[in-house]
Amino acid sequence: MLRLFCILLAFLGSGTIASVQAADHLVRLGVLAHRGKDEALKSWGPTAQYLSQQIPGYQFVIVPLSNDDIGPAVEYNELEFVLTNPGSYAELEYGFGITRIATLKSKSPLGAYSVIGAVIFTRADRKDIRTLSDLRGKRFMAVHENAFGGWWLAWHEMKRQGIDPYQEFSRLSFSGFPQDNIVYAVRDGKVDAGTVRTDLLESMALGHKIQLKDFRVLNAQHADNFPYLLSTPLYPDWAFATLRHTPDELAQQVAIALLKMQPGHPAAQAGDYVEWTVPLDYHSVQQLMLELRVGHYLNYGTLSFVDLLKQYRIGIAAVLLAMILLAAAYLYTLHLNRRLSHTMKHLEEEITQRQRIEKDLRRARDDLECRVADRTAELARINEELESRVAHRTAQLLSAMQRLDAEMKIKHEQSDTSPPA
């Protein structure tokens, strides 16, 4: 946010547009500044002024952004609208849900067109380069590795024909803007071939910078009602888009204002375009980026951990919750099993101890029974012996008593028969 605030201060302080009225709502239009911030302010400032005049109560300001800045600015709602190239628009549409409301009709030497393509070319006197296949082992130049019209279109066409420029070219270089440098590098033999946006060769020829006859177009294509040298299919031009948080009513007013801008308007002249048209379908741009695995499709099919979390966060949360519940259930079950195991072990010890006691009791009982039996037998023997002794003693006493009785009887008889004295 601080970065955007500084940009706005610098822009508003430059005097490029009228000062913002206190009662006006500030509307920030982010523009991809592929030729630098100063050029972006110069080219698109009049368009912002035009929108401010057409829509009372709103003051539009241009916020120049680089490729690195435009994504975060959209993500954190630092803009209300954005104007960018097809590749950048497709990426922002996919990542942050921006919506196109108009497509640019660029000015060219032979008319106004809302589509763009690329031309792949070499010097006309290069007899060894007549097709794209002949570029294997050659030196090739494009404007930027992330440029849609200045590299991706040509790369996509090469890939369709089975050519991998990153592996099969002897040198792949990127010159940066302006693209005129690529044309001069091919002309001067610094590289063997190059690619630029369509209409550039014709514009340079009309400006007497080059002669078209000095160049040969590779993989030449023809499109109805499109007069420029071409090597690739055509794709929609720059998109004017609205962000999710931008009010629908404001977006509608901006779309109407853009579509009713007349050709030749000072804002169009400053931006080097003719007019605006209804938004075109950018599905072909998405498809190209998918096939090249660039932009938001860079890791398509091999999601990073962060992307995986973003895309499947609900499912992952559900799985994690289920795993946590299962882990909790497992730990609880493990705890119960441990308690049960401890209880079973304790019971087994008690059973073992009880069995040992019962065994000792049985052994004691058996020993007691044996001792009782032996004692009983001993007592029986003693009793028999006593009874025998008693019987024998009784017999002796009876015999003695009989003898005594007999003796007494004899004495008595003797006393009766003895004479008195």
Cα torsion for 219, 222, 226, 232, to the nearest 10°? -40
pLDDT digit string (tens) for 249-308? 999 999 999 999 999 899 999 998 999 999 999 999 999 999 999 887 877 766 566 666
Q: Which amino acid is at 143?
A: V
User: What is the per-residue pLDDT across 106-131, written as a single tens digit (0 to 9) for each?
Assistant: 887 777 889 999 999 999 999 999 99
Whole-model pTM? 0.63
Mean pLDDT on 56-85: 93
350: left (phi over 0), alpha (psi -120 to 50) or beta: alpha
- Asked if 79 contacts 243 with a C-beta cutoff of 8 angstroms, the reply is yes
Residues 6+ apart with CB under 8 A from 51: 27, 29, 58, 60, 254, 257, 258
- Predicted pLDDT at 248: 94
Q: Which CATH architecture has domain 118-218?
A: 3-Layer(aba) Sandwich (3.40)
Domain locations in the chain? 2-108+236-302, 118-218, 304-376
Given this model, what pLDDT does residue 384 score? 85
Is the model's pLDDT at 7 over the cut of 80? no
Q: 2-108+236-302: which CATH architecture? A: 3-Layer(aba) Sandwich (3.40)
Checking if the pLDDT of 143 tops 80, the result is yes
Q: Which of 3-7, 182-186, 333-337, 340-344 has the highest mean pLDDT?
A: 182-186
Quick: pLDDT tens for 211-265.
999 999 999 998 888 889 999 999 999 999 999 999 999 999 999 999 999 998 9
Angle at 214 between CA 208 and CA 217, to 5 degrees: 110
Is residue 320 classed as helix, strand or coil in its secondary structure? helix
* Fold match, 2-108+236-302 / 118-218: yes
pLDDT at 305: 63
> Residue 254's closest CA among 53, 43, 11?
53
Q: Is the pLDDT score of 370 beyond 90?
A: no
Asked if 67 contacts 88 with a C-beta cutoff of 8 angstroms, the reply is yes
Flag whether pLDDT at 420 surpasses 90.
Answer: no
Q: What share of the chain has pLDDT > 90, as a percent?
A: 50
For residue 185, give the 3-state DSSP assignment. helix
